[in-house]
Amino acid sequence: MSISSGFTTAEIREFVHEYQLVPFGHKGPWLAERDFSTRTLARWRAAVYEGDLDHGLIPREGSPMMVHAAKRTALEKKRAEERAAHLAEVAKLSSRVRELEGTNTALGKAIGLLHAMSEEEPAATPTPPDPSSS
């Protein structure tokens, strides 16, 4: 029996975190829209919050494993920090892309002006070599 059921660990982690954010009273309909059962989600939650998901370990099947609220809160804070760092990096890279696009546009205009200037100049006619000097 696999922990993933055809999903990647990133997808499983995302499902668990999405489920945590669903308001009370809406979790049943949210789960009904997905391709997994309540039991599967409970197993995934235990694996995510116990840190076993990345190792592919399956939680024990006996008594339910209690996930402490403090541990869940710490994981949610860590995930929020990772998401904030990711968004900051995306914003930084987007800014750099805009800057480079502006530079590219300016260079394109400068090259266009150089071409226009070279077309306006009269073509230099080469002077034939002086036959008397040979």
Q: Is residue 122 included in any domain, yes or no?
A: no
Same domain, 32 and 63: yes
Same domain as 80, residue 59: no
Q: Which domain holds residue 88?
A: 68-117
Is residue 131 situated within a structural domain?
A: no
For the stretch 5-63, pLDDT in tens is 677 878 888 888 888 888 888 888 888 888 888 888 888 787 777 766 666 666 555 44
Answer yes or no: do 2 and 49 share one domain. yes
127 belongs to a structural domain: no
Given a cut of 70, is residue 76 above it in pLDDT?
yes
CA distances from 8 to 3, 24, 42, 43 (A): 10, 27, 16, 15
CB-based burial of residue 93 (10 Å sphere; 0-12 exposed, 13-18 middle, 19+ buried)?
A: exposed
Query: Is residue 130 included in any domain, yes or no?
Result: no
Query: Against a cut of 0.75, is the pTM above it?
Result: no
- pLDDT tier, 118 (very low <50, low <70, confident <90, very high otherwise): confident
Count: domains in the chain = 2
Residue 126 lies in a domain: no
pLDDT tens-place string over residues 60-75: 554 455 556 666 677 7
